[in-house]
Chains A and B, each alone.
Chain A
Amino acid sequence: MIEKTRKMVRKIPSIWILMAVVSFCCFGFVIVKIETPNSYMKKVIDSSSGYIQVHEFGEVKLKVRYQSPEELCIKQTMGRDSEFLDVSQLKKEFDQSMDFELEILLPSATNDLTKVAGSTMAYQELVNYLAFGIQEDLTLSIDEAIIKCDFVHFERNYGISPKVVLQFGFHKKETIQRGLNSGSDIRIRFDANRFNLGPIYFHFENDLITDKPFILY
């Protein structure tokens, strides 16, 4: 039987060609799926990748960026010898929550919070709001569930940059995990009443959130 097969394969060169093409395709598929930290980071900061959602209101721009566990892992391990790091453990830790970055780009005429706030008192109130109060205004909705923000970290820039940046996130509760497993997209809602803008939604596709790329550290 084996001898018959060998004779048949030798006689028909097209089978060799087909085998070569199939092997090449499999190899190419594997190559495409493997990413390096640099290539992955380039992908996530690309505005067309879906990791960044933007809303513009005149001069003001609000950007929410999803920070995947892989991205956080790369930032943590950058410049360090990966031989001495337990990358899989790090990834597991980062996978316990869904992390996002909110960036509010201010009008070009203002380059620090005091001008937005209008007065020193209001400035302090705004800083307090960004450090603490804003947590109440950030929610995640998946299917019918609405989940409150679990943590916020505001990075003050003391007027050296025309934008406000803060990190916020949600612990991956059972509701969220169930929704993601069933293929549901997620929406981040920011109640921007403090800026008189009303509710603003940022939509993220399920494929993006559940994507598990293979990264060569």
Chain B
Amino acid sequence: MKRLKQLSLIFIVVLNLVLISFLLKNHYNSNLKIGVVNVETLFNKFEMKEELDGEYMRITKQSQNALDSLTTHIQRMDLVEGKALNRSPKLNLMIVERDKIAEQLNTIKQEFESQIWNRLDLIIADFGEQNEHLVLIGNDDKSKVLYTKETIDITQDLIRYANKKYSGR
């Protein structure tokens, strides 16, 4: 009888210890919610990027004819004028025009990228707040994250969330 009492006491103590450590572990984990995101994948799979890429291709196509034509003329005139010290005004004008178009296209591309990142920044902040993340770490080739466990890779979740938010749902 005494032996039985001792055994039940030991069992209850062990059970309580297990329960307490389980609760502490959960509490500890929930306070340290960290997520890792493959930034490049997120950026490339973001619907806004796909749309603006399409828009950029359309704008580029429109300017491409003018750009190609100018490049051809410049190359031809360069051959004709040879290695002259001073280029003709007409050639200089063409070069300026070509560079202007190239710069415009580059500006548009940068604007689009900036719009995408501005939108993503807001969405990521929303996501982090809603899911109570303490930290969200960007992981790609350029970052210094050396190792992450698969369970904290939330790239796909964030892609789904970002696309849902972008489409207005």
Write out the residue numbers on chain A whose beta carbons fall within 8 Å of the beta carbon of B119: 57, 197-198
Number of residues in A with C-beta < 8 Å to the partner?
15
**Is A201 interfacial (CB-CB < 8 Å)?**
yes
Q: Is the CB of B116 within 8 A of A198?
A: yes
Given contacts A53-B168, A187-B167, A187-B168, contact A199 B122 (CB under 8 A): no
Q: Is the CB of B111 within 8 A of A201?
A: no
Q: Is the CB of B118 within 8 A of A201?
A: no
- List A33-64 residues whose CB lies under 8 Å from chain B: 53, 55-58
Instruction: Decide if the interface of chain A is mainly helix, strand, loop or mixed.
Output: strand
Interface size classification for chain B: 10 to 19
Residues 33-54 of chain B, each 1 if its beta carbon lies under 8 Å from chain A, else 0: 0000000000000001001100
**Is A202 interfacial (CB-CB < 8 Å)?**
yes
Out of A53, A198, A202, name the residue touching B48 (CB < 8 Å).
A198
28 contacts between A and B (CB under 8 A): A53-B168, A56-B122, A57-B119, A57-B122, A58-B122, A187-B167, A188-B168, A196-B111, A196-B114, A196-B115, A197-B115, A197-B118, A197-B119, A198-B48, A198-B52, A198-B112, A198-B115, A198-B119, A199-B48, A199-B51, A199-B52, A200-B168, A201-B166, A201-B167, A201-B168, A202-B168, A203-B167, A203-B169
- Give the interface of A toward B (CB within 8 A): 53, 55-58, 187-188, 196-203
